[in-house]
A and B are shown apart, each in its own frame.
Chain A
């Protein structure tokens, strides 16, 4: 499953749970009101556990992201082959092909305004991106496991023809 689809499923599940729970809490026992002090006392007793749960989930999620960061490590920058990507209004100067199953680094920059270098795999899913900024070079480490025709789309608004700004390269 593509990463985007996973995020969508997580989102819909959490959102549906939240909506259901909040509607239930508002309507359950609505005909039998309780004094505020009783509801508050019960709620405060649950709250510390709820707080602990939320905190644990947040910490666990943060820890889980650390090994999956897209940022380049010093050894990757040294040992991987580099490919230059230059973005400009409204096209990309790209390598024609990049090797499959190899750790590579794209050196991405822009000649004029801010652009985004968004890589779409042959199935049309985003597999990674980085900003292309004038005066700076962003190093994007990538490893393509599927050979084929990859489309590049600009993912930062760059002017009137932004929507048409595309490119492509082959992974072989």
Chain B
């Protein structure tokens, strides 16, 4: 038992105790970003322990070298998958499952450092650093997105103010068509990137047209209800019927 292995053992045990925290803390409620950070701490401790657990003075088994390298690279990838953000809410409520997930992270972290070091002296530090960087990138955007508050108040298509002269349905429908549809279906419905809408009334009645606009199949974009209101959809459908 040398000093190096002792340190590895102590770090490993501390990491395990930290990882099993859900068992004695019970249910928790954590924002995803903070949860990612705790996971970063777990994998770092485990990887450090893995790096120190192998003494590079031991003879290397070169026969398995490609395997050690592959494991050292794939373990961080699996750890990143294990940090699946949408499962966090479930884990917060189920301490047993949460502890098992943490044990998985400890295992993958340990394997990352240990296999790297088995491949070649010093490489465990590099693969361990890769795992640390990936787990520190996670809180910045992995299952974490800025609040959409700014977007909620955006204006919709409604070019009504632009066309005060023609208050009829088709007049406003024409303006909406020009705004939202003409780029693909042509300025007079002759088609382009999207299919021609000439004589669309023979294929779909006004109700069917409106239903399609509300819920189109790709690649046609879905503009309802974010851009086109219920009224807009009816007016643009009425216009399309006249093409």
Contact = CB atoms under 8 A, between A and B. Distances in A.
A18 B180 CA distance: 49
Given A161-B193, A165-B183, A93 B146 contact: no
A111 B157 contact: no
A86 B159 CA distance: 13
A164 B226 contact: no
Interface string A109-148: 1011000000000000000000000111100000000000
B162 A96 contact: yes
A81 interface: no
Contacts of B146: 135-136
Interface residues of B toward A: which range?
A: 20 to 34
Interface in B149-193: 150-151, 154-157, 159, 161-162, 179-180, 183-184, 192-193
Contacts of A86: 154-155, 227
A88 B227 contact: yes
Contacts of B96: none
A135 B144 CA distance: 12
B179 A160 contact: no
A150 to B, nearest CB: 16
Nearest to A134: B151
Contacts of B179: 91, 93
Given A135-B146, A164-B184, A166-B183, A109 B162 contact: no
B86 interface: no
A151 interface: no
A86 B150 CA distance: 12
A111 B154 contact: yes
B180 A109 contact: no
A161 B184 contact: yes
B151 A84 contact: no
B145 interface: yes
B150 A109 contact: yes
Contacts of A161: 183-184, 193-194, 219
Nearest to B193: A161
B148 interface: yes
Contacts of A43: none
Contacts of B155: 84, 86, 93
Contacts of B221: 88-90, 112, 159
A135 B145 contact: yes
A133 to B, nearest CB: 10
A88 B226 contact: yes
Interface of A: 84, 86, 88-91, 93, 96, 109, 111-112, 134-137, 159-161, 163-166
Please give me the 7 A-B residue pairs with the lowest Cβ-Cβ distance, nearest first.
A89-B221, A164-B183, A161-B193, A160-B219, A161-B184, A135-B146, A91-B180
